[in-house]
Amino acid sequence: MATMCDSGAVKLKAGFKLVSQDITTAQYDIMIEYAEGQINLQAGKDFVTDFGGLPTIRSTALADACSSRAGIIAAIYDDTKYSSGQMTNILNVNWSIFADVLRQIKERKGTDFLTDGEQ
């Protein structure tokens, strides 16, 4: 079950042309779970288990990264919906967000990300 974000956030990141596409809720959940797995693997920390107890600023950043990574998967599900330039922009923006959050997690050594700089 997806924890860090929902299908609405993924649709937003994948672009307006994808909203009407025939991707099921179960498929979105799988995309989100893949994204969560990537975040946990690269961070070396299980953020899914701790997600509900995270400070808002941290859970929002993780949700942004997760929806961006899942948005990439959703966008390439049917890349004929976009021109080459549009697809490149969608992929680059989402990858940048995903990578930026992971960089922050790694710089804070995962565990410190949970509490460092709470607001």
- The string of DSSP codes covering 23-38 is --HHHHHHHHHHHHHH
Bigger pLDDT: 46 or 94?
A: 94
When pLDDT is cut at 50, 70 and 90, the band that residue 1 belongs to is low
CB 70 within 8 A of CB 32: yes
Q: What is the mean predicted confidence (pLDDT) over 51-57?
A: 87
Q: Is the pLDDT of residue 31 over 70?
A: yes
This prediction's pTM = 0.88
Q: What is the pLDDT of residue 72?
A: 95
CB 97 within 8 A of CB 65: yes
> For a pLDDT cut of 90, what percent of the chain falls above it?
55
Looking at the chain, list the stretches that DSSP marks H as alpha helix, in order from N- to C-terminal side.
Answer: 7-14, 25-43, 47-50, 56-77, 84-107, 111-115
Map out the domains of the chain as residue ranges. 7-113
Instruction: State the Cα torsion 98-6-24-93 to the nearest 10°.
Output: -30
Q: Is the pLDDT of residue 119 over 50?
A: no
Phi-psi region of 15 (alpha: psi -120 to 50; beta: other; left: phi over 0): left
User: Rounded mean pLDDT of the chain?
Assistant: 87
CA-based Rg of the chain, rounded to a whole angstrom? 14
Q: What is the pLDDT of residue 73?
A: 93
Quote the tokens at residue 32. 């989100």
Bigger pLDDT: 119 or 45?
A: 45
